[in-house]
């Protein structure tokens, strides 16, 4: 038997042809792909790209300085307020328009806490009539009560209180519950200006 080997298919050449064909197709596909406009610029501008700790601190430094200044200003303002803060405020209910608050004063120390009839102070109907006259009672008030003075008459009956204080001034007042009358000047220690009553109001 002859030892001649028959010529079979050359697989090596076929593989090379297939590889060449594949490379050609890939090259063609690569050439057909277009890079989107501005892609490389967007890649370079990615957040965090190229940042350094120095840049971050440079951006945060103004904020830190502003916060420190604000804290210092707040501390100074609080200190100034603490030094010049107002004292206790005397809060009183609002009275009728055009009136001045007047506090009733009882010179009898024993009557400064109770609200008994024995400690009540009269509001008179007429400042020119005897204060204790039976028909000259318009109402009653007590020590510490706030009444609202509309005006003052300076020519009323002269009165003297238990401490020896005298006055002819009488205040036209409205008290709690709307009671109105004339409060003798000796029954208050008013320091506020009250307008003079017109002649027709006396």
Distance, CA of 115 to CA of 146 (rounded, Å)? 14
Distance, CA of 121 to CA of 136 (rounded, Å)? 12
> Could you confirm whether domain 100-201 is CATH 2.30.30.40?
yes
* Mean pLDDT, range 168-184, rounded to an integer: 93
pTM more than 0.75:
no
Give 148-167 pLDDT, tens digit per residue: 999 999 999 999 999 999 99
What is the phi-psi region of residue 19: left when phi exceeds 0, alpha when psi lies from -120 to 50, beta otherwise? alpha
Delimit the domains of the chain by residue range.
Answer: 54-86, 100-201
- DSSP-derived pairing of the beta strands 139-141 and 121-123: antiparallel
In sign, the C-alpha dihedral spanning 106, 112, 117, 123 is: positive
Q: HEC states along 87-108?
A: CCCCCCCCCCCCCEEEEECCCC
Cβ burial, residue 141 (10 Å; 0-12/13-18/19+): buried
Q: Is the predicted pLDDT of residue 95 greater than 80, yes or no? A: no
Q: Is the predicted pLDDT of residue 55 greater than 70, yes or no? A: no
R_g of the chain computed on alpha carbons: 51
Three-class DSSP category at 17: helix
Distance, CA of 188 to CA of 145 (rounded, Å)? 10
């Amino acid at each position: 038997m002859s030892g001649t080997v028959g010529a079979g298919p050359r697989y090596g050449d076929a593989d090379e042809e297939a590889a060449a064909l594949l490379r050609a197709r890939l090259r063609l596909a690569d050439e057909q792909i277009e890079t989107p406009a501005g892609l490389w610029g967007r890649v370079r501008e990615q957040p965090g790209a190229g940042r350094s700790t120095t840049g971050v601190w440079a951006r945060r430094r103004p904020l830190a300085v502003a916060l420190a200044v604000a804290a210092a200003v707040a501390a100074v303002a609080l200190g100034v307020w603490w030094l010049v803060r107002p004292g206790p405020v005397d809060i009183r209910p609002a009275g009728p328009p055009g009136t001045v608050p007047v506090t009733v004063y009882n010179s009898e120390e024993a009557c400064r806490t109770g609200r008994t009839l024995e400690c009540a102070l009269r509001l008179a109907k007429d400042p020119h009539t005897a204060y204790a006259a039976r028909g000259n009672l318009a109402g009653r008030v007590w020590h510490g009560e706030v009444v609202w003075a509309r005006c003052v008459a300076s020519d009323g009956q002269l009165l003297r209180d238990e401490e020896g204080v005298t006055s002819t001034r009488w205040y036209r007042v409205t008290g709690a519950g709307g009671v109105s009358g004339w409060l003798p000047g000796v029954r208050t220690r008013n320091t506020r200006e009250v307008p003079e009553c017109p002649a027709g109001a006396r």
